[in-house]
């Protein structure tokens, strides 16, 4: 079966790598699974930050972002407002 080429979503690690990490969580060795889970968690956090930044740049409100994330507006704002969402160090 032909597969479409991987899509680059601009995440630090491509979505296809996240899929591999998610599969590795089920490794027979629980320590290897835990290591994969920790790496996956970090990648998901980074991907979420990228998408929040993109949403804000595209005009989304904190309420809309919070709704998509399943958290309160205050929680989303607290987590991401203090971050440098628009680049810089």
Is 57 a member of any domain? yes
Question: Which residues have C-beta within 8 Å of that of residue 64, sequence separation ≥ 6?
Answer: 55
Exposure pattern of 26-48 as b/e (b: 16+ CB <10 Å)?
eeeeeeeeeebbebbeebeeebe
Is 62 a member of any domain? yes
pLDDT at 22: 87
Identify the band that residue 89 occupies on the pLDDT scale cut at 50, 70 and 90: very low
The string of pLDDT tens digits covering residues 45-76 is 988 998 999 999 999 999 999 999 999 999 99
Q: Is-contact 63 45, C-beta < 8 A?
A: no
**Tally of domains in the chain:** 1
The string of pLDDT tens digits covering residues 1-36 is 444 555 555 555 578 888 888 888 888 999 999 999
Q: Provide the residue range defining the domain that includes 67.
A: 15-81
pLDDT at residue 79 tops 50: yes
pLDDT at 9: 52
pLDDT at 20: 87
Q: To 5 degrees, how large is the angle CA 9–CA 81–CA 47?
A: 20
pLDDT at residue 43 tops 80: yes
Is 88 a member of any domain? no
Is 39 a member of any domain? yes
Is 4 a member of any domain? no
């Amino acid at each position: 079966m032909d597969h479409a080429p991987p899509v680059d979503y601009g995440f630090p690690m491509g979505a296809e790598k996240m899929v591999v990490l998610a599969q590795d969580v089920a490794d027979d060795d629980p320590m290897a699974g835990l290591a994969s889970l920790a790496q996956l968690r970090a990648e998901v956090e980074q991907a979420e930050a990228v998408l929040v930044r993109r949403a804000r740049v595209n005009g989304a409100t904190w309420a809309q972002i919070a709704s998509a994330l399943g958290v309160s507006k205050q929680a989303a704002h607290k987590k991401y407002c203090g971050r440098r969402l628009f680049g810089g160090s």
